[in-house]
Amino acid sequence: MSVDVLLPSPVPVRFVAEDGTAVQPPTGYQVPEEERLLEAFRRMVVGRRFDRQATALTKQGRLAVYPSSRGQEACQIAGVLALREDDWLFPTYRDSVALVSRGLDPVEVLTLLRGGWHCGYDPAATRVAPQCTPLATQTIHAVGMADALRRKGEDGVVMAFIGDGGTSEGDFHEALNYAAVLHAPVVFFVQNNKYAISVPLAKQSAAPALAYKGIGYGIRSEQVDGNDLVAVLSVLDAAVEHARTGGGPFLVEAHTYRMDPHTNADDASRYREKQEVEQWEAADPLARLETYLRGRGVLGADAVEAAHEAAEKFAARVREDMNADPEADPYELFEHVFAEATPQLREQRALLASELED
């Protein structure tokens, strides 16, 4: 295979400028259908409101922690829209908006961040792996699932979300090599939000772009403006089609920005300047898409208002459901520890039972 085929575009693929005006994209990419773009807008509005609500729940003691993805909605929503229902998604801890957009119950999505002992939802039923907190470990699992689908003769695709910090982990590189050798139908979607907690990208990698990390493993790669929903969806559509039709793995790097702190426990002002945040605020993905769709005459004020009303109703339901105290069974502590309970585990369970009786 020629190296030229693997190389990403020299600059990130873009369809829409920061001010919402259309620009000429590179050849080979198509503008997604208007109905999909309108659906993306609706989902982004709901997703951002959900994100704000989840952040508020941490301050109310209803969530232990919440990693916001405000500013990354174009990536979150495009990643979901590019997949079929029978495809698999392997998310990170920052991808709650994507999971909610895929149709998962928001309370189930937030169970892990609430402090539950499991991920909250059924991965097999939803075809969504548990949100992964250890960096990059889900990428190897994603390749294994993709290879399993291929061996079973299914035409499903797996998409693994990962942050820029995760690309510095050995698991990520092992996954790339594994995927390339197996010719697995997997898309690695890197959301480069410029910081691995407090570590800026310049101190993580000297590569001209993270997309180039796929070349050494023989993986077709691309980079895209991650705040341009139109471009992200177009590139991911192409990547998923490449993987689904036997082209093997594909690596996409989306250049975006994490507007909020790493989590509610982080003080981002200690490692980034206010001016930097304000610059990225001007490239807001939701405002950019709304301006673009209004300019094309396909999005009116009534539709915008309807989207925000739906978002408020969704947030109200999340609030109500999350304010209900979950019923905790203390004996769940002893479930799923071993296939068969050990004498020590049975002894501990009996001790708890005696204490609860008292």
Catalytic residues: 258, 262, 271
CA nearest to 139, candidates 170, 181, 97, 108: 170
Angle of helix 73-81 relative to helix 229-244, nearest 10 degrees, comes to 30
Residue 220, H or E segment = strand 220-225
The 10 Å CB-count burial string (b at 16+, else e) for 53-81 is: bbbbbbeeebbbbbbbbbbbbbbbbbbbb
Full DSSP string of 173-195 = HHHHHHHHHHT--EEEEEEE-SE
Distances (CA, A) of 209 to 74, 76, 139, 198, 336: 19, 20, 19, 19, 42
CA nearest to 188, candidates 78, 79, 70: 79
